[in-house]
Structure 1
Amino acid sequence: MVPEFALDPKSVQWCEEVRALAADRLRPLAEAGEPGAVNRPLVAALGELGLLARLFTSGSLDLCLMRESLAYGCTEAETALALQGLGAHPVHAHGTEAQRARWLPEVAAGRAVAAFALSEPDAGSDAAALALEARADGDEWLLTGTKCWISNAPGADFYTVFARTTPGAGARGVTALLVPADRPGLTGSPLDMLSPHPIGRLDFDGVRVSRADLLGQVDQGFRVAMTTLNLFRPSVGAFAVGMAQAALDATLAHTAERRAFGGVLKDLQAVAHQVADLATRTEAARLLVYAAAAAYDRGEPDVPRRAAMAKLLATETAQQVVDAAVQLHGARALQRGHLLEHLYREVRAPRIYEGATEVQREIIAKELYKELHTRLSEEAAR
C-alpha cells in the first residue's frame, strides 16, 4: 500500500496558493453574490483560474486538495466548484462525444452551470426509490414528476437527471439523462435553506428526451449515480476538513489572546486539552479523506467503504469542531458576519447530502460483511 499520510512540497505549495486565491479573489465575489442563487461571476472566476478544468483532468486526491483549500478560504467558492463537478462528471465519464463537446468546455470555462438531479420529495437517501417517470413515447421518453433539493436549481444550464424507465425494478430501472434547462415543460423554483447555497425544486411536465440525451445505458443510471458519488464522497469530507481547519485556526488565535480569569484562555487546561482533541480529530479526518481519495485513484476494490468512512468521519468531525469553536469564542461567534457564524450554518448540510451519515454507516457495514463473506469463501476453497 502506498502511504497517503504526507503531501509532497509541490502539493503543499499549490494548496497554499489555492487558499490565497480563495481568500483574496473569490471571497469578494462570493460576498457580492445573492445568497441562495447561482453566483455566475464566482463560477466564471473559478473557470478563469483554471480550477474547473482540473475537475476533468485530475484524480480524486487532487479534487480533495482543491475542495479543502477552497473551503478554508471561501466556502461558497468550494461549493460552486463541487457542484460543477458533480453535475458534469456523469457527462465526462458516461456522455457521448457530442455531449462532451457541447458541455464540458463551457463548464470548464465557467460559462455553463451544471447540476446533479437525483433527490426527490420521497427519495433522498433511498435513491433507488426514484419515482420521476420516463414514459416511453416511440424512440423517446416523456419525463413527468419532481426533483427536490437540487443544488444549482433552478439556475443551471443543464441537469444530469435520473429517471425511472422501468417501473418496479428498483435500482435496476433507473436511467441517467442529460437535460438542458430550456427543454419545454421543465420549470423550477428556489428553496430557502439554512446554508446560503443555490438549491431548488424542478418540475417535469412531459419533458421530452431522446437517446441522444442518454448518459450511459438505459436502466443503468444507478451505476452512473453511484460511481459519481464514490468519486465525490471523499471530497465532501475534504470540504468538511477545510471548514474544520478554518474553525480550529480561528480558535487557536482566539484562545491565545482572549483574557479571562486572570490569564489567557489557552492557559486553562480544560481549554488547551479541548483544542488538542479538536486538532487531533481534524487531522485524523484529513488522513482518512486522503487515503480514500488515493484508493479511488489507484482503482482499489474497497473504494465504496473507504469513501463512506471518509465522508462519515470528516463531516461528523467538522460539526464537532465548529460547534466547539463557537462555544470557545462565546457570543461573538453568533454575530452575523463572524467566520464561525458562517461556518456553523455551512457545516450542517454535508452530514445529509450525497448520502446522510446513517447511509454511510449502512454502506460501511454492508461492505465489511461482504469482505468477510469473500474472505471466508476463499478460505473454504483452499
Structure 2
Amino acid sequence: MDRSYLDWPFLGAEHKALALAVDDWARAALPSIGDHDDVDASCRALVPALGEAGWLRYCVPQAYGGVHEVLDVRSLSIIRETLAYHSALADFAFAMQGLGSGAISSFGSEALKQDYLPAVCAGEKIAAFALSEPEAGSDAAALSASLAATSDGYVLNGEKTWISNGGIADFYCLFARTGVGSRGVTAVVVDAGAHGFSIAERIEVIAPHPLARLRFDDCVVPFDKRIGEEGEGFRIALATLDIFRTTVGAAALGFARRAFDEAGRHALNRRMFGGTLADLPLAQERLAEMALDIDAAALLVYRSAWTKDVKRQRVTREAAMAKLFATDQAQVVIDKAVQMFGGMGIAKGVKVEELYREVRALRIYEGASEVQKLIIAGQQLNVLREEL
C-alpha cells in the first residue's frame, strides 16, 4: 500500500507509527480470524482480538482506558483505512465500537462512562448505534420511536432498523422521541437483555454484516441510562456523526487502495497482445485516474480529521466533503479495478469482487451521498448569508 501520505503535514510521527503497527498486526492476525460464512461469529471473534491488540483503546477517552484524552479522528481514520485494506469485517468491528459508544464518550454521565467504556476498550462489550427507523433514515428528525417518562423510568416503544451489530451487540446507544421536533429527541442506552426488547428481523445484505431490525414493546429504560439531557438527543447524534463520518471516508480509502494494488499487480502479470496489460495505454490511463482519485480523497479525509483534532472545531462541512468524495470515488476506483480483471473480476473469491460489494454501503450509511450534498450546500450558503 502506498504510504507516502503518512508524511503529509496533517499527520504526526505517532500516526505514521500507528499505521505501520496496525498493518503489521493485520497481516499477521487477520488471516486466522478471517471473514467466515457466520459473520456473527466472526465479529464476536474480531472485537476481543482488536481489544487485546490495543486498537480499541483509540475508541474511548484516556480516562476509561483509551490512548487520547479525547477521541483522535486522525488515529481512528488511520486504523479504519488500514483495517479496510485487509478486511472489511475487521474495519466494521472496529468502527462500530467507536460509533456505538461515541455518544457515551462525549455526552454520557460519569456512571455511564465507567459502566460501558472500559468494556468497549477491552473488547468485552459489543456496541451499537441505533438511530435509523423504517420511516426515518436520511431524515433523522422524523423519528417516531417514543420514550415516555414514568415513575420507574422511560418506557420505550417503536422500532429501529438497519442497525449495525443488531443481534450481537451488548448495548445500543438509541435515539427516541420525548417531544416535538428536533429538540424533542433523547438519547439513552438500552442493554440487549432489557425486558420488552427483541430482534424483529435479521437483515441480509450484499456484503454480509450483522444487521437487524429492533423492536421495543413497553421496554423500560432507567433514567440513569439517559445520555445527556432530555431533548438533546438530536444534537448528540449529529455531534457523534461529526466525529465518525470522516472515518467512513477513511475506510473507503482503504478499499480503494486495495483495489488499486490488486489491479496494478494484475496488470503487471496479465499477458496479452505480446506484452502485459500494464503496457497498454488504456490500462495506464485507468491506473492514473485511480491514483488521482485516491490521493484527492485522502487529502479531504485527513484535512477533515486534522481540523477536528487540531482546531477543535465542528467539521460538519469538511466531514461531509470527505465522506462524499472518498466513498463515491472509491466506488469508481473499484469498478475500474473489476473492469481490468475482466471476467475474473466478478468471480466469487476474487478480492476486487468482494470490494465491489463491500464499498457500496458506504455511500448510504451515516448519511447518504445525497444528504452530504445538502449538508455541504447548507454550510456554504450559511457562509454566504453571513457575508451579506
Alignment TM-score > 0.5, same fold: yes
Whole-angstrom CA distance in 2 between matches of 1:132 and 1:6: 41
**Does the alignment pair 1:177 with 2:181?**
no
> One-letter code of the match for 1:145?
G
Aligned mates of 1:118, 1:110 — CA distance in 2: 23
Q: Secondary structure at the match of 2:205?
A: coil
Counterparts of 1:42-81 in structure 2, within 5 Å, are 42-56=46-60, 57=68, 58-81=71-94
What is the aligned counterpart of 1:256 among 264, 268, 287?
Answer: 268
Alignment partners' CA distance in 2, 1:191 and 1:15: 33
Conserved 8 A contact 1:38-1:152: no
Offset of residue 34 of structure 1: 1.0
Amino acid at match of 2:356: Y
Three-state SS of the structure 2 residue aligned to 1:325 is helix
Question: Normalising by the residue count of structure 2, what TM-score does the alignment of the two structures yield?
Answer: 0.92
User: What residue number does 2:238 align with?
Assistant: 226
Offset from partner CA, 1:183-202 (integer Å, 9 cap, x none): 10000132111111111110
Equivalence map 1:106-121=2 (5 Å): 106-121=119-134
Go from structure 1 to structure 2 and tell me whether the alpha carbon gap of 1:38 and 1:125 turns closer, same or farther (over 3 Å shift): farther
Q: Is 1:328 aligned with 2:318?
A: no
Aligned-partner Cα distance in 1 for 2:379–2:202? 37
In 1, distance between residues paired with 2:42 and 2:176? 24
1-structure distance, mates of 2:15, 2:175: 36
Q: How many residues align?
A: 372
Give the Cα–Cα distance (whole angstroms) in 2 for the partners of residues 293 and 268 of structure 1: 38
1:135-159 deviation digits (Å, cap 9, x = unpaired): 2323622111100000000111000
Match for 1:321: what amino acid? V
**Structure 1 residues 350 and 369 mapped into 2: Cα distance closer, same or farther (>3 Å)?**
same
Is the contact between residue 118 and residue 161 of structure 1 (CA under 8 Å) also seen in structure 2?
Answer: yes
Residue-by-residue CA offset, 1:281-323 (whole Å, 9 max, x unaligned): 0011011100001111134546100000000000001100111
- Is 2:377 the counterpart of 1:365? yes
How far apart are residue 49 of structure 1 and its match?
A: 0.4
The answer to whether structure 1 residue 286 and structure 2 residue 298 are counterparts is: yes
Are positions 1:241 and 2:245 aligned together? no
Corresponding residue for residue 138 of structure 2: 125
Match of 2:163 among 141, 150, 154: 150
Which of 12, 18, 32 is the equivalent residue of 1:14? 18
8 A Cα contact 1:165 1:219, kept in partner: yes
Report the identity percentage.
Answer: 44
Q: Which residue of 2 aligns with 1:26?
A: 30
State how far apart, in whole Å, the 1-side matches of 2:233 and 2:52 are. 32
- The structure 1 segments of at least 4 consecutive aligned residues displaced by more than 6 Å after TM superposition are none
Do the aligned residues in 2 keep the contact of 1:36 with 1:190 (CA within 8 Å)? no
Shift of residue 165, structure 1, vs aligned partner: 0.4
The residue identity in structure 1 corresponding to 2:48 is A
> Counterpart of 1:120 in structure 2: which amino acid?
E
Give the CA deviation at 1:26: 2.0
Structure 1 window deviating more from structure 2 (348-357 vs 26-35): it is: 26-35
Would you say 1:297 and 2:301 are equivalent positions? no
Match of 1:103 among 94, 101, 116: 116
The 8 Å contact of residues 27 and 74 in structure 1, kept in 2 or not, is answered as: no
How far 1:117 sits from its partner (Å)? 0.2
Instruction: Tell me how far 1:210 sits from its aligned partner.
Output: 2.6
Q: 1:380 is matched with which residue?
A: none
- 1:209 paired to 2:221: yes
In structure 2, give the amino acid aligned to 1:29: I
Look up the equivalent residue of 2:208 and give its one-letter code.
P
Change (3 A) 1:41 1:113: same
Stretch of structure 1 that moved more, 255-264 or 212-221 = 255-264
Partner of 1:379: none
The superposition leaves residues 106-128 of structure 1 with CA deviations (integer Å, 9 ceiling, x where unpaired) of: 11111100000000001001000
- Structure 1 position 245, deviation (Å): 0.1
Partner of 2:39, secondary structure, is: coil
| Deviations 1:196-248, CA, capped at 9 Å, x for gaps | 11111100001111320110110110011001101011100000000000000
What's 1:186 paired with?
Answer: 197
What is the alpha-carbon distance in structure 2 between the residues aligned to residue 170 and residue 38 of structure 1? 39
